[in-house]
Amino acid sequence: MGRRLLFLGPPGAGKGTQATRLAKALGIPHISTGDMLRQNVADGTDLGKQAEAIMHAGDLVPDDLVLAMVQDRLGKDDAACGYILDGFPRNVSQAESLSAMNQLAGIDQVLLLEVDTEELVQRLLSRAKDQGRADDNEESIRNRLDVYRDETSPLVDWYPTNGVSVASVQGSGSMDDVTARLVLALAT
Ligand code: AMP
């Protein structure tokens, strides 16, 4: 135990990039619900068909669909010694469900990546150009930032209330600098 980490932070903060790096360094799986959902869309599964339009608009996919997917993933052998969650839980209800499935809220430590809103929008718009992600259009970006503020950011208080510490890490600067800050935050 001690290796069940959760990345929190607004869209565009660099959670995916940093979670991938940290997971490799720690030898634990990086579990991204956004990546899993995009894979389902690409594969044309039932779940993908149900999620596609919702994701395109930047809204949240219904909790029951996401929970079933996560429960299945966390039951796999490679998740037995820890994991880095990225993009889940996305609201208090999902956090409560994860908590009910696991000991100690299912998370040992939260890493909060903080980046200015202006920089986030710039990063998301340039990601739209580079990667062509369907939900990186301006309207969806605005909506996803609102959804983060209204639905997800309350978790920054929910976790400490439920006995899990939150380490805030500055997410601006070079990728290597951010990784170094995260490693430091984990060691302290
Ligand atoms: P992400 O890659 O984490 O930014 O997720 C992309 C999109 O997938 C989000 O805007 C949501 O539409 C959907 N999504 C990802 N994770 C969740 C979740 N835990 N609950 C609901 N929807 C999610």
pLDDT tens profile 33-59: 999 999 999 999 999 999 999 999 999
Q: What is the four-CA torsion angle of 130, 136, 137, 138, rounded to 10 degrees?
A: -110
Q: What is the mean pLDDT of residues 72-91?
A: 95
> Contact, 140 vs 56, CB < 8 A?
yes
- Count of H-run helices and E-run strands, the chain: 9, 5
More confident position, 45 or 81? 45
CA–centroid distance, 66 to ligand 1, in Å, is: 9
Across residues 157-182, what is the average pLDDT? 96
Q: How many CB atoms lie within 10 A of CB 109?
A: 16
Give residue 99's pLDDT band: very low, low, confident or very high (50, 70, 90).
Answer: very high
pLDDT score at 131 = 80
Per the prediction, the chain carries an average pLDDT of: 93
124 Cβ closer than 6 Å to some ligand 1 atom: no
- 128 pLDDT band (50/70/90 cuts)? confident
Pocket test for ligand 1, best of 6, 7, 60, 123 (most atoms within 8 A of CB): 60
CATH code: domain 4-30+84-187 is 3.40.50.300
- Phi/psi of residue 110, each to 5°? -105, 135
Alpha carbons within 13 angstroms on the beta-carbon side of residue 155 total: 31
Cβ neighbours for 56, distance < 8 A, ≥ 6 positions apart = 134, 135, 140
| pTM assigned to the model | 0.94
Distance 33 CA to ligand 1 centre (A): 6
Q: Which residues are catalytic?
A: 15, 90, 127, 133, 144
Residue 2 has pLDDT above 70, yes or no: no
CA 1 to chain centre: 20
The answer to whether the beta carbons of residues 90 and 154 sit under 8 Å apart is: no
